[in-house]
Amino acid sequence: MAEAVSHTVETAPEKLMTQRSQRIQEIIAGYAFMAPAIIILTVFLVLPMVAALFFSLTDWNGITPLFDRQGTVNTQAFEMVGLENYERLLLREGSRQEAFFTSLKNTVYFVLGVVPVQTILALVLAVIVNQRWLKGKGFFRTAFYFPSISSSVVISLIFMFLFASNGIINQGIKALFPGYQNVTWLNDATGVIHALLGGLGITRDTVGEWARTEVLSIRLWDWISGPSVTMLMIMILNTWTTIGTMMVIYLAALQNIPGQVYEAAYVDGATTGQIFRKITVPLLRPTTFFVITLGLIGTFQVFDQIYVISSGGPADTTLTIAYLVYRSGFDDSRMGLATATAMVLFVIIFVFTMIQRRIVGGEKAD
Amino acid sequence: MRNVRLIVLMVGLFALLGAGLASAQTTTIQLAGWSSSDAENAALEAMVAAFEEANPDIDVELIFAPEYETFMQTGFASGDYPNVFYVDSFRLQDWASAGVLEPYGDQITNPDDLYASLRDIFTYDGQLYCAPKDFSTLALVYNTDLFEAAGVAVPTNWEELRAAAEALTTEDVAGLTTGIELPRFLPFLYEAGGSILSEDGTEVVLDSDATITAVDYFVSLYTDGVAKSPADLGAGWAGEAFGQGKAAMTIEGNWIIQYLIDQFPDTNWAVSELPVGSEGPATMAFTVCYGVAAAANNDNLEASVRLADFLTGPEGAMMVGESGFGPMPARASAAETWLSSRGEEFAPFVAGGDYSYAWSFPPGFGTFIDTFNNGLNEAVKGNVDVQELVQDSAEAAQEALDELM
């Protein structure tokens, strides 16, 4: 015993040394393995984010060179303006504020329209293609997933043909309802809610003076416009293209639910509807959190389809925040303002993800 | 002896080789632009080849960039961008004020031959920044078959234009189609005696009776159903709707010529100058110049200016004229050449060069253009009244101007 103790005491420092050097070696090896990812993330994610944060505090126009040929920094390129860009976006009345809140309104309608629909449809589709009785599962899985792997620009162009004023969609509706007046899907700024209210005889002129009050540079009446017809078309397109990915995620989760749980439910005499509501949906909760998070981030950042189809028009009704960033930075030569907008978008997405984490209870996922 | 000879021979050979290498030493400069059509690209390549032949010490690397402006802007920001590049008149003030352009107006060959209106467009802060490459103007394009069938004469003023549009409108055909947007509306504004900015560019003068008159006229064509937007006619742009015979008239630039010839060879059409308003004629000029990168970011300034001056000089203009595709040469001396290769019947486009206004704005006027376009589209649908549209737009213009001050 004593021998053993003395032995330990004697060799302890040596052992510690080797342990420590082993630890250090492990750490080095660990970082070496991570290095490619860390470098890539730093160069393409962290640095741009820091740069964007920095430029959001300047009045840089995005054109004046930051360096000359010799690589000397051009100090005349911009001035620090503090939080002025943020103030103009969020607080100061004027066209910048109007543009920002118009884009926020459009984006929120887009998110509210697309995320619930794509989540529910993806779940339903996943449950259907997961059924044992379904023949040709492979075909349906491929077919539903196909839009997600196709180029979004190409799909946008195809949708433009489909939704042209004498395109297939309009002709199809006309064949079903002969009295139908062609809707110019690609260029109709009428808000969907406005149109519904209009059908009930409620218009801006009949609701009373309150509708003309401007809140954050936008009239109250325009706040409740709903997505425009063109936006609705892009929402349909976006839902259709993203459903496949969401379905695959749900499908993987569905196949992870052990069969015993279902068997037990059958034995207890649960109906199919009950099984779906009480077993499938609760067990898919972590997946739902993931799908909604992906959906939120994707829809808040919608850009490419807008760029191809409408460039923010008609009447700015498809101007999303992401598109506003592009427009201020590249069309309007206000890179400072553009980066500030991007920062605000980042905060919005962050906050929404946190909120829905609380609601859906994503912590249980880990 | 033999050895000595050999050595002399060798030395001589090396000397020759060295001299050859020295003379073959060339500078390479980059020329960037966007690709518009195969014919135009080929024409530019031919011009560049002619330049290289005349200047063996310069090698030109031609870059056709898709998403041109984004490509240039990212280049500008990094300070590493092409030596010579297209500058759209719309971007001139933006880019000139950002300091990425070297004004070489004082080194242009025979500048007086360039159309004065085009020189004005590329003058910023009192300096001529660059020489125009070519230009296009708007004119009235009309369908001769439909005009004959309806027995309508070619309109020359606003009243006649309205009357013609009314007479030509049927269930399937709109009298007029043109985009509901600022560049198509501006000729009407100038013809009514209005303007967006005062002459010296320090004041917004949009909120005027002339603007109201012009907007009223333009909007009423649509609200009365005699004009329709290309989208309403199921077309991507006015030229397509016109070519398909869905509209009897359109207001378009000379780029429509080749398009109609290629796509709609069976449609019979002709061109006339835009109908004149109460305060005289007006049209828009869309033009592009060859900008030269600013000295701080240009290693080959001298060669760059030489290239730009060659492409826009008398010889270059003549080559633009001879190739005879869409845009017209920016020099009056080459106008005849363009007409004879393109066709004398297109003279109305050339005539516009004398009374055209610039499609060009101070930096940051994008918001104003958006505001106006949105308002105009809403006004055409009857959702916004004209007074409101004009006031909102004038405010947006004032705000953009204040930002600059």
In A266-305, the residues whose Cβ lies within 8 Å of chain B are none
Q: Are residues A60 and A335 in contact, defined by beta-carbon separation less than 8 angstroms?
A: yes
pLDDT for the residue A188: 80
Lowest-pLDDT range of A162-176, B80-94, B181-195: A162-176
- Whether residues A247 and A355 fall in one domain: yes
pLDDT for the residue B52: 92
pLDDT for the residue A3: 47
Q: Is A150 inside any structural domain?
A: yes
CA angle A138-A144-A133, nearest 5°?
A: 45
- Whether residues A3 and A146 fall in one domain: no
- Whether residues A165 and A33 fall in one domain: no
Q: Are residues A59 and A336 in contact, defined by beta-carbon separation less than 8 angstroms?
A: yes
Specify the amino acid at residue B280.
G
Confidence band of B354 (pLDDT split at 50, 70, 90): confident
A167 C-beta neighbours (distance < 10 Å), count: 17
Mean pLDDT, residues B103-113? 88
Identify the helix (H) or strand (E) that includes residue B270: strand B269-272
pLDDT for the residue A1: 44
Q: What is the pLDDT of residues B243-296, one digit of tens each?
A: 999 999 999 998 898 889 889 999 999 999 999 999 999 999 999 999 999 988
What is the C-alpha separation between B251 and B245, in angstroms, rounded? 14
CATH fold match for the domains B28-135+286-350 and B137-284+360-404:
yes
- Whether residues A129 and A51 fall in one domain: no
Provide the number of structural domains found in chain A: 2
Q: Is A73 inside any structural domain?
A: no
Q: Is A168 inside any structural domain?
A: yes
- Whether residues A44 and A148 fall in one domain: no
Fold of B137-284+360-404: D-Maltodextrin-Binding Protein; domain 2 (3.40.190)
By residue range, what is the domain housing residue A266?
A: 89-191+226-365
CA angle B287-B293-B298, nearest 5°?
A: 160
| pLDDT exceeds cutoff 70 at B15 | no
Q: How far apart are the first and last CA of chain A?
A: 46
What is the C-alpha separation between B310 and B304, in angstroms, rounded? 10
What is the C-alpha separation between B171 and B168, in angstroms, rounded? 10
CATH for B28-135+286-350?
Answer: 3.40.190.10
The answer for residues whose C-beta is within 8 angstroms of residue B28's C-beta and 6 or more apart is B58, B59, B60, B61
Show the low-confidence residues of chain A (pLDDT under 50).
Answer: 1-6, 8, 365-366
Q: What is the pLDDT of residues B110-141, one digit of tens each?
A: 888 888 888 888 998 889 999 998 899 999 99
Q: Is A63 inside any structural domain?
A: no
Domain boundaries, chain B: 28-135+286-350, 137-284+360-404
Of B79, B377, B396, the CB nearest to A67: B79
Residue B27: φ, ψ to 5°: -95, 145
Identify the helix (H) or strand (E) that includes residue A52: helix A47-55
- Whether residues A180 and A290 fall in one domain: yes
Is the Cβ of A332 closer than 8 Å to some Cβ of chain B? Answer: yes
Q: Chain B: nearest CA to A351, how far in angstroms?
A: 29
pLDDT for the residue A2: 46
Q: How far is CA B264 from CA A166, B235, B256, B258, B261, in A?
A: 19, 14, 11, 10, 6
Q: Chain B: nearest CA to A171, how far in angstroms?
A: 12
pLDDT for the residue A100: 93
CA angle A247-A294-A251, nearest 5°?
A: 20
pLDDT for the residue A74: 80
Confidence band of B13 (pLDDT split at 50, 70, 90): low
Phi-psi region of A213 (alpha: psi -120 to 50; beta: other; left: phi over 0): beta
| pLDDT exceeds cutoff 60 at B321 | yes
Interface contact flag, A313 B229, Cβ < 8 Å: no
- Whether residues A119 and A240 fall in one domain: yes
- Whether residues A50 and A98 fall in one domain: no
Interface contact flag, B79 A68, Cβ < 8 Å: yes
Confidence band of B361 (pLDDT split at 50, 70, 90): confident
Q: Is A107 inside any structural domain?
A: yes
pLDDT for the residue A231: 93
What is the C-alpha separation between B164 and B248, in angstroms, rounded? 9
Mean pLDDT, residues B332-341? 84
Q: Is A200 inside any structural domain?
A: no
Confidence band of B10 (pLDDT split at 50, 70, 90): low
Q: Is A33 inside any structural domain?
A: yes
Backbone CA torsion sign across A225, A228, A229, A232: negative
Q: Which of A333, A335, A341 is the best mutation test for B, with the most CBs of B within 10 A?
A: A333
In B91-120, the residues whose Cβ lies within 8 Å of chain A are 94-95, 98-100
- Whether residues A291 and A241 fall in one domain: yes
Q: Are residues A93 and A217 in contact, defined by beta-carbon separation less than 8 angstroms?
A: yes
Residues on chain A touching B78 (C-beta within 8 angstroms): 65-67
- Whether residues A26 and A115 fall in one domain: no
Q: What is the pLDDT of residues B198-240, one digit of tens each?
A: 888 888 999 999 999 999 999 999 999 999 998 888 888 999 9
The CATH number that applies at residue A162 is 1.10.3720.10
- Whether residues A252 and A354 fall in one domain: yes
Residues on chain A touching B77 (C-beta within 8 angstroms): 62-66, 335
CA angle A304-A307-A313, nearest 5°?
A: 140
pLDDT for the residue B11: 60
- Structure token pair of residue A185: 């899907």
